[in-house]
Structure 1
Amino acid sequence: MRRLIAGLAMALCLAPAISHAQELIDPEAILLDELIVEARLPGPAWWKVTDSDSTVYVLGAPSALPRGLAWDQTILKRRLDGANRLILPAAATAGLGDIGGLLALRKQARRDVQPLPPPLQARVEDAAVRLGTKGERYLEWRPVAGALMLLSDNRKAMRIDPAEPHKAIGKAAKKARVKAGRAATYEAVVLGRAVLAAPESAGLTCLDVALEEVEAGPVVFQATARAWAEGNVRAALDGRRSYDLCINGLPGMADQVNQANAAQAAAIAAALKTPGHSVAVMSLRSLVSQNGVLDRLRRDGLTVTTPDQ
């Protein structure tokens, strides 16, 4: 269950189009070309949001990186110097009060599990061999839960570090004595309930998307991570979005994504009320999508400067 909840949380913290993506709801499907540019400064791309007397520097970040990937933190450290605060992306959390609910969800996710179509079951078993596990590990759960566990195991096998780049960013903020806080938090139990409410068709599509990621191997993920580190925004967005597509296709989760983007935009706008500058770290796709964070801030009359300027 920890892997399931970790996967759900990672997906909200935030690709070529996957062949089955059209079957899943995707509130961040449309990207705004004018925001997708190549950075002029070294390292990952930064956007800037300003009003008359204050600035928020916004770093677009992936939810995870390959272990050992080096990236230039020069601009990050420069902008943290003297910053009022560091705004972290919205994320799901599981507190002590959630434990009972999570245990109950674990039992429910294993009830009334129907056999998969033989071709799909064969692919699950082949994927398990690739990952050094057994097919039963994924087949004993409802399809959407099994898919999220499969994705977590695959990221582990590809040596993907779910703590980065946010761990490095937090360490730099601590060294600069900048207080960090999330734009918003959501209960992990809500996400677990969405898994249970997913119709069979959405679960099977999610499982198919997860299998495509396993079958593709680590090459695409590594390439998009390097592109992010080099400030190539378009190439960084060109990776697989398996977690996002699975989560967004669950009942009510598209609304949750929109609420998260609204909360993140509001946190940046609130930081602008304090003279000086602050730093924000947001999911790269949530920044540049239609009705995403930067789109909302522009509509509110704030000035957004892109990384190429």
Structure 2
Amino acid sequence: MIEGGRPARPWGRRIAAALLPCLLAACGTAEPGPQAQPAMWLVADADTRVYLLGTMHALPPGTDWDGGKVAGAIDSAGELVMELAPGELAAAGEVFGELAPRATPLAIDARLPQPALTRYRALEASGSDFGGDTLDDWAVVVLMAQRAAKNAGLSSSDGVEPGLTARFKAAGKPISGLETARGQLMLFETLDPATQRTLLTRAAAGSDAAMQDIDTLVAAWTRGDVATLAAEINADIDAVPAARRAIVTERNRRWTAWIAARMARPGTVMVAVGTGHLVGTDSVPAMLEAAGTKVTRAQ
């Protein structure tokens, strides 16, 4: 899809990198990387503290993100809550393999207009064949997101979640998840066909700029630049309202309710979710504040 003579913004790349941990897989070596100060918020009352840490699910190898106020929050938290518990994250590949195939193959050439198809083929040529003819539109977007992340030098093993998991496991602290891998992928699987096709077309049309967009997101996340993160992510997802409702707004509403209920029990909790859920007008912090809960920026 071309808008105003220019490629459509690569929605699939940005939103996948920011929101869905089971979408990204890339490799890299552990070398010294950039220092990061990711945004973190705190919800607290007399006997409960809930830290909200905005994550990136894949990062440049060696990124140092767990210093500063984040280090203190990790040490003080008695439990970790992520989008997916470690077992669910491990099962994501199998669930993807089950849900992704189309009932009847359809050539990518028949789904994408030019020059979106040309850009799609260029991204595909940077690695192995996507096998997109046999997959649902949403699943092709997932594979494109993986490829773009890898091409941008990101590594899922260097994302925030593996580091948090290792720290909490070593300390013998419980780890749980807000969702299941199947539940996350069903958010895409149950999108109507027109919305799925829009996501695929926009992602393909903007894939030539995917690495630049990922770099912009990672840089903004590294410096805790909430305004830039909100502008970058929301500018893309606002263009696909049905996807926004399913993948962002409704999930944020469920997670907000979970946090509100958790505040009724004492203790300190680290809640680590994709940064896209913690910025913008319908973010978790915004929903908490709208319900009368005080949220403060902790880093």
**Fold shared by both chains (TM-score > 0.5):** yes
Deviations 1:97-132 (A, max 9, x none): x97995475141625877243433333223333x14
Question: Does the alignment pair 1:83 with 2:74?
Answer: no
Partner residue in 2 for 1:301: 292
Q: Distance in 2 between matches of 1:60 and 1:100?
A: 25
Partner residue in 1 for 2:47: 53
Cα pair distance change 1:125/1:114, threshold 3 Å: closer
**Equivalent pair of 1:109/1:145 in contact (CA under 8 Å):** no
Q: Distance in 2 between matches of 1:139 and 1:56?
A: 45
TM-score of the superposed pair, with normalisation by structure 2 = 0.70
Match of 2:186 among 186, 190, 197: 190
Question: Does the alignment pair 1:261 with 2:252?
Answer: yes
Cα pair distance change 1:156/1:213, threshold 3 Å: farther
Match of 2:61 among 63, 67, 70: 67
Deviations 1:65-114 (A, max 9, x none): 22332324343332222423222136895898x97995475141625877
TM-fit CA distance, 1:242: 10
Deviations 1:156-199 (A, max 9, x none): 2222223411111111222333212112336256346326x412
**Equivalent pair of 2:19/2:277 in contact (CA under 8 Å):** no
Partner residue in 2 for 1:161: 155
Deviations 1:2-31 (A, max 9, x none): xxxxx97984459xxxxxxxxxxxxxxxxx
Question: Does the alignment pair 1:119 with 2:115?
Answer: yes
TM-fit CA distance, 1:248: 6.7
Partner residue in 2 for 1:226: 219
Match of 1:271 among 262, 269, 272: 262
Q: Distance in 2 between matches of 1:179 and 1:159?
A: 31
TM-fit CA distance, 1:305: 0.9
Q: Percent same amino acid at aligned positions?
A: 21
Q: Distance in 1 between matches of 2:127 and 2:187?
A: 28
Q: Distance in 2 between matches of 1:241 and 1:61?
A: 16
Q: Distance in 1 between matches of 2:282 and 2:73?
A: 26
Question: Does the alignment pair 1:286 with 2:280?
Answer: no
Match of 1:170 among 165, 168, 181: 165
Partner residue in 1 for 2:3: none
**Equivalent pair of 1:206/1:245 in contact (CA under 8 Å):** no
Partner residue in 1 for 2:103: 108
User: What residue identity is the alignment partner of 1:278?
Assistant: V
Partner residue in 2 for 1:208: 201
Instruction: Count matched residues.
Output: 268
TM-score of the superposed pair, with normalisation by structure 1 = 0.69
When the two chains are superposed, the root-mean-square deviation of aligned CA atoms in Å is: 4.0
Q: Distance in 2 between matches of 1:140 and 1:121?
A: 16
Q: Distance in 1 between matches of 2:51 and 2:19?
A: 23
Cα pair distance change 1:90/1:166, threshold 3 Å: closer
TM-fit CA distance, 1:49: 0.7
TM-fit CA distance, 1:47: 0.9
